[in-house]
Structure 1
Amino acid sequence: MAMFVLLFYFSLAPHVIPETYDITEGVASEKEIKAPFQIRDEKATRQAEEDAAAKIDPIYSIVPLSNATLVEQLFYRIEQLNLDDQVTTDNKVAIYRSEIPGKYDAHIDAFITANKGKGTFSDSLVQEMENVAKDQRYTIPEETFYKMPQLKSEQLSEMRSVAREIVRKLTLEPLREAETARTQVAELVNASTLSNRTEREIVQELARFAIMPNRFLDTDATDEAKALAKQNTQPVVFKEGDVIVKRGQTITPDLYKLLSDSNLLQDKTSYWPQAGLLILSLMAVIVLFVYLHQSGGFGGLRPKYSNTQLLMLLLIFLINIITIQIIALIQTDSVPYAGYLAPAALGAMLITLLLDMHLAIISSFIFTIMGSIILNPASNTLFDFKYGFFVIVVSLAAIFSIHRASQRSAILKAGIMVSLFGALSVMAVLLMTEQLERMPFIYSVSFAFASGLLTAVLVIGLMPFFEITFGILSALKLVELSNPNHPLLRKLLTETPGTYHHSVMVGNLSEAAAEAIGADGLLCRVGSYYHDIGKTKRPNYFIENQSNMENPHDTIDPKLSKSIIVAHARDGVEMLKGHNIPKPIRDIAEQHHGTTSLKFFYHKAAKQAEEQGIVPTFTEDDFRYPGPKAQSKEAAVVGIADCVEAAVRSLRNPTVEHVEAMIAKIIKSRLDDNQYNECDLTLKELDKIAQSLKESIIGIFHSRIEYPEDVKTKE
């Protein structure tokens, strides 16, 4: 379990924890430093923002100041005062001199009062307008005031119309400098209908006076535009893999600060990512540990998973992670979809075939977390849900496609299912996220499909390695071993046909009985085929092979007979080792008799001693198999089926009652003899085994079993 923690931590560390460097400010760097993730250059970004803001021209806004209204006010006052005969000419001149200049400021103040705080114009714009307009106030010449009292109402009416039109025309366009428009007044007046020289001079001055600037610098709008330009400026970044510092480059204060802010300096290292990764690794291992413990992996007389099997599980995790890491190396920003090529279902498929389907499901979720981190092409996020979803889909598809596999070709079929579901999962994600660019879409789906085929090829190549290295007996290996053309089975068939037939019958019985109690039926069947292989060394000493010949045991000492009979278990184990048959099958061959007694030869020896009038120097224990007792349910089931098949065959006319009684007697005898003390069989399971054996034997010997008939009582 500690090794699992280390595997998870160090396989994810390069993708979570950035590398740190020991550098000093002002000293040339000994290494080339690349960005482990996207790093923002704050100083360069701020400079880029300032440059973008500097490129923004000042924004000017148009403020219509109603110049025509001012013209009306001026002529109205002149006309009103000229009609007053009670005021002398000198007084009129004095009034014009004092009132007319003030109307300019009064007009501006009235406009400000009407618009300030109303939201139409910003306060800064109104203030700018007041300052600029008053600074550009026009000063009417003194002699003009002396000419005004002479004007009649008719003249003023014509002059008003001309002045208003000139002012309107010159203020239609944006006007930053009023003097620019004022220079054009004389030309427009001379082109008007006014013929009197005095009238033209007065209109010129009043028009110049009424013209004001209408285009003003909008400080708020300018600042807002500059702020928006800064906001829209793309940050200056070092992309993942970009060189930040070249080898031999002097570390400037700015570079040092950049590396320090990015936690790339050893003395500035943040240990939070390491702590988080360690917690994540521990959580993954805890999930694995709790499942293994609750499934009987570490408890009980014989743990479900030994250290060897856990080491194999660790190796499967390592291989699966390495294949994903290799694909991650060819995954770039330009081809992020290359991650879908990863054979992510490799681990789940191997665990299903070699260990357990439910363990594979638990492991799939761990592979999903790791795949979404390792295959994540983005540096600003920890997980990429697209790849995580792909990993869990292909893993579950592999598990449910392969868990009942009995032939090597099933692996290829499962690979095709993985390809189909992987392609569909990628297609679904891309369609939901609307990433529908043609070529990336095609490549992503194609890579996902190729992933399943690559997974199948790797599994087919790795299966023999695990089976040989760890002595794992997978379902595929069992099916291969059950092939009648196997050298040992061919030897059994040709040299001991009776034993071969017996072994096949025991295989049928034990498989059904094992499946009734949830044990490995296929292992029982194949183990039954090989359990008596040791009889091929001395085939004539076993009754099923004695056809048309005398029984050699009739002429030899019972002790010698016992030695020959019990030797077949040991001989069988040696022969199986010589042919590299996996240990579970060797265990069945060695343990199927346990330490049971050869009562026939014991009683024969005791009878001979009695006839010779000597005291026996032996006990019943001297006529027992050396064992060991059955260490697994499968070995116990094969042992029961072996004994039951031989016993039922010895019955001349077996009936249902005889068969049932025989099975019960055999099981009870072995139970009383403590033959099941070292395996996990329960009394309930023994009842199920007895029921299954009875049903199987009835099916096999149905033509020989005579069912009792009810006899009617005569009246």
Structure 2
Amino acid sequence: MISKEPSQRNSFYSRLAGWKSSRGTRYILFVVLLVLFYGSLAPNLVPQRFDIQVGAVSEKDIVAPMQIPNNKATLQAQETAAEKVEAVYTIVSMHRDTVMSQMLERIESLNQDDQISSSDKAQIYSQEIPQRIRNSVANFIRNHRESGNYSAQLMDEMQKTISNQTYSIPEETFLKIPRLSTEEVQQMSQVATSIVSRLMSDQITDAQSARARVAEMVSTSSLNSRTAREVSQELIRATLTANKFYDEEATKAAKVEARENTPVVYVQQGDIIVPAGQVITQEMYTLLDENNLLKNEVNYWPQLGLLLFAFLLVLGIYVFFRQNAQRGTPYNNSQLLMLILIFAISIISFHLVRILQTGNFPYFGYLVPAALGAMLITVLLDIHLAYVCSVILSILVSVILNMRQNEIFDYQFGMFTLVVSLTAIHCIHRASQRSTILKAGIMTCLFGALTVLALVLLDDESWTRMTVMYALGFAFIGGLLTTVLVLGLMPFFETTFGILSALKLVELSNPNHPLLRKLLIETPGTYHHSVMVGNLSEAAAEAIGADGLLCRVGSYYHDIGKTKRPGYFIENQNHMENPHDSIDPKLSKSIIIAHARDGVEMQKEYKLPKPIRDIAEQHHGTTFLHFFYHKALKLAEEHGVEPDFTEDDFRYPGPKAQTKEAAVVGIADSVEAAVRSLNKPTVEQVETMIEKIIKGRLDDHQFNECDLTMKELDVIAQTLKEAVMGIFHSRIEYPEDIKKPELKEKKV
């Protein structure tokens, strides 16, 4: 029963790890990824359609499957905006002070003519002054019609308004004008032109309001003569006209602009269009029909197109996986499952941002944590895979956040995502500390903002200063949000999938870790041995494309179980007797093989990741303890009894190495111990010993459950030989050239 325990445990581990390499499981996971891509893009590319009729009662809530424009509501909003536009008035500079000056010059000239009687002068004034005022207006309108400075409709409105507001000078005024002296006329010229100029500088829609102010202004003027004041008042009133006129064309243009500037009214995704139990109106039906959301005819082509599109995206990842496998670094199903989860989290974040995004505020889309997937894939999986997935995520974002009607992609969000993803990969792919993630996040903020600015400059017509500031701000916030999410999600993936990122491994390699400090203080010999094994295994692992950093850190902890009974291991037996010399070899065997199990328990207590624990548990595999077995045989023979044990009783319980890393650490462990046991090793001895150790483990089937190849074992042997020669350089004796004895010539 005892002899079968190792093989049973090995079988259990084989079945447990089987799903990670199962081809059927892998195909299922790729199908899951296909469904994920299809489902994430369907709301935008293949919206749900409804089979309804006007007048029927809706059996369930009809919800908008995507953001759709409401044309009727938009038209109503446009008309409301147009109605709110106030009438536009245009101010026309009339220069009526010039007309006043010319009239007074005429009065001054005519009054000086003694050949004409006062009554005739009054008669002339009664005809000439109104005619002058009318002609000045007519000439002004005619000149501006011909020049095209103002529209014909405005000139018509001006002529109509001035005509309706014409002022009639009383007849008695004309009788008073001939009695004015030259000095009075000259004085009137200064005052009247000044008053006209001042009044016409205001905006006048009704001349009567301006004329009402004339009497007060003239009374407070410098005119002393009553007649001069009375005549001046009447002439000023007659000269004044409106200068602000209703502009029908400008008003219509303002209404058109108001309609054009009215934002489209959207029914947001998830809004209820028709509540359950409500009668479907023509308006509801038209809204759905205008946006192609009715099942007027069966059409499966969009679904097929989306399925092919999603298939192409998955095919790209599948081909990359195949090429990686051909290069000797295949991904297992656990890594594929993690990749699917990263895609799912990224897509969920895209849709959450999509909820905030509206037709009026599309720049909310830059809040998306665009580089989240790229950063997680780089740190947890592989930089090359991150580049491939960055392109795919950019495509997904350009569809999910697309606000452009009748377009499939929005290149702006796609370009933004691609730039920040590539920036994040470049900044984080050699990360050795978690602070590097923060630095990468800051770089994505900066490059994201630069990308937004570039896109704005390319399409500046649809942007305002305020929207540009919002877009830049959201791009910066999105970068910081990405950093927070990456730092928060990494422990989840590391714990759930047993992933050891480079960041985590560097943290575990810190000598101040409680277990490493315990190892150094209580078993300094084992600590030194572990460090040496770490150097050797790292070099060998990197030579075959395995995880060198994992081998180094795993080596630091692989013998931590020896701290339970440090004196029973030879590297810690300085200046003391070997306790194994005085105890039963079966007990010695139990103590020796227990260190692997004890190490695993201690690592579990300190919550070390599973790959580190696996190295501690598997580095000896099910190897045979020759020394204690033969010692037990010798004791049995000396006591004249039959052995009550077999070779299997003197083997480590396993399991055998399940990964390349565990196998490499096991080989390096044996090599370091063997070389250390030699007094004055030579290069030939080291080379022979390494080959013997690898061949012995190979013949003992210790590599049957990991994917090491014979070629890789040769590379490991050569690398370990070079590394040992470098590490133990001062101790290894190089063979000296042996001089052949010179043959003495025989004397004849």
**What's the secondary structure of 1:519's corresponding residue?**
coil
Q: Deviation per CA, 1:202-233, whole angstroms, max 9, x where unpaired? A: xxxxxxxxxxxxxxxxxxxxxxxxxxxxxxx9
Is this contact kept in 2: 1:38–1:237, CA < 8 A? no
Q: CA deviation at 1:372?
A: 0.1
Map residues 621-660 of structure 1 onto 2, 5 A cutoff.
621-660=648-687
Question: Percent identity, aligned pairs only?
Answer: 65
Task: Determine if the alignment matches structure 1 residue 514 to structure 2 residue 545.
Answer: no
Aligned-partner SS, 2:266: coil
Change (3 A) 1:496 1:235: closer
**Structure 2 match to 1:343:** 369
SS in 1 for 2:55: coil
Structure 2 CA distance for partners of 1:31 and 1:283, relative to 1, 3 Å: same
Q: CA deviation at 1:502?
A: 0.9
Partner of 1:284: 313
1:478 and 1:288, CA in 2 relative to 1: closer, same or farther beyond 3 A? same
1:542 aligns with 2:573: no
- Quote the residue 2:699 is aligned against: 672
TM-score normalised by length of structure 1: 0.67
In structure 2, relative to structure 1, the CA distance for the partners of 1:627 and 1:28 (3 Å cut) is closer
**Is the 1:340–1:448 contact (alpha carbons within 8 Å) kept by the matching residues of 2?**
yes
**Is contact 1:40-1:235 (8 Å) kept?**
no
TM-score normalised per structure 2: 0.65
Determine if contact 1:630/1:678 at 8 Å carries over to the other structure. Answer: yes
Aligned partner of 1:371 among 376, 397, 421: 397
Deviation at 1:32, TM superposition (A): 7.8
Secondary structure, aligned partner of 1:295: helix
User: Aligned AA for 1:260?
Assistant: D
Counterpart for residue 517 of structure 2: 490
Note closer, same or farther for the CA distance 1:655–1:21 as it changes in structure 2 (3 Å cut).
same
Residue 438 of structure 2 is aligned to residue 406 of structure 1: no
Q: Give the corresponding residue for 1:423.
A: 449
Do the aligned residues in 2 keep the contact of 1:240 with 1:379 (CA within 8 Å)?
no
Q: CA 1:618–1:455 in structure 2 vs 1: closer, same or farther (change >3 Å)?
A: same
Which residue identity does 1:443 align to in structure 2? Answer: Y
Which has the larger displacement, 532-541 or 512-521? 532-541
Q: Is the 8 A contact 2:70 2:267 kept in 1?
A: no
Q: Which residue, 403, 408, 413 being the options, matches 1:382?
A: 408
Counterpart in the other structure of 2:501: 474
CA deviation profile, 1:341-381 (whole Å, cap 9, x unmatched): 21111011112212222222222222111100111122221
Letter in 2 for 1:576: Q
Q: Is 1:8–1:281's contact at 8 Å kept on the other side of the alignment?
A: yes
* Larger of the two Rg values belongs to structure: 1
* In 1: Cα distance, 2:362 partner to 2:740 partner: 89
Query: Which amino acid is 1:592 matched to?
Result: H
2:605 is matched with which residue? 578
Match of 1:37 in 2: 68
Q: Is the Cα contact below 8 Å between 1:41 and 1:235 reproduced in 2? A: no
The CA deviation at 1:608 is 2.5
Q: Residue 316 of structure 1: which of 333, 342, 353 is its match?
A: 342
Offset at residue 244 of structure 1 (A) = 11
* CA-CA distance at 1:594 after TM superposition: 1.3
Distance 2:723 2:639 in 1: 46
Q: How far apart are the structure 1 equivalents of 2:515 and 2:734?
A: 39
CA displacement 1:622-654 (0-9 Å, x = unmatched): 322122211111011100110011111111112
8 A Cα contact 1:656 1:707, kept in partner: yes
Aligned 8 A contact 2:686 2:721 in 1? yes
Whole-Å separation in 2 of the counterparts to 1:234 and 1:477: 57
Alignment partners' CA distance in 2, 1:568 and 1:33: 64
- Pairwise CA distance, 1:238: 6.6
Which of the residues 287, 294, 317 maps onto 1:265? 294
Q: Secondary structure at the match of 1:410?
A: helix
Question: Take 2:580 and 2:594, find their aligned partners in 1: how far apart are those partners?
Answer: 15
Contact (CA 8 Å) 1:609, 1:616: kept in 2 or not? yes
Aligned residue for 1:104?
Answer: none
The match for 2:477 is: 450
8 A contact 1:263–1:270 mirrored in 2: no
Letter in 2 for 1:432: L
Match for 2:343: what amino acid? F
Q: 1:39/1:286 Cα in 2 relative to 1: closer, same or farther (>3 Å)?
A: farther
Check the 8 A contact 2:690/2:721 in 1, yes or no. Answer: yes
Q: Distance in 1 between matches of 2:626 and 2:508?
A: 34
Q: Look up the match of 1:391.
A: 417
User: Is the aligned partner of 1:4 residue 2:33?
Assistant: yes
Indicate whether 1:274 and 2:306 are aligned.
Answer: no
Unaligned runs of 5+ residues in structure 2 are 1-29, 80-258, 743-748
- CA RMSD for the aligned pairs? 3.4
Count of residues in correspondence between the two structures: 527
Number of the residue aligned with 1:73: none
User: What amino acid does structure 2 have at the position aligned with 1:545?
Assistant: N
Structure 2 partner of 1:187? none
Deviations 1:175-205 (A, max 9, x none): xxxxxxxxxxxxxxxxxxxxxxxxxxxxxxx
Partner of 1:564: 591
**Residues in 1 aligned to 2:382 and 2:624: alpha-carbon distance in whole angstroms:** 37
Distance 1:254 1:705, change over 3 A: closer
1:270 CA displacement: 4.5
Instruction: Tell me which residue corresponds to 1:663.
Output: 690
> How big is the shift at 1:419?
2.2
Is the 1:25–1:256 contact (alpha carbons within 8 Å) kept by the matching residues of 2?
A: yes
* 8 Å Cα contact 1:18-1:36 kept in structure 2: no
CA separation of 1:416/1:351 partners in 2, compared to 1, >3 Å: closer, same or farther?
Answer: same
Cα deviation digits, residues 80-137 of structure 1 (max 9, x gap): xxxxxxxxxxxxxxxxxxxxxxxxxxxxxxxxxxxxxxxxxxxxxxxxxxxxxxxxxx
| 1:527 equivalent in structure 2 | 554
Q: In the alignment, is the contact (CA less than 8 A) between 2:675 and 2:681 conserved in 1?
A: yes
2:325 and 2:331 in contact (8 A); partners too: yes
Q: Is the 8 A contact 1:41 1:236 kept in 2?
A: no
Q: Quick one: structure 1 residues 36 and 455, their matched pair in 2 at CA, closer, same or farther if it must change by over 3 Å? A: closer
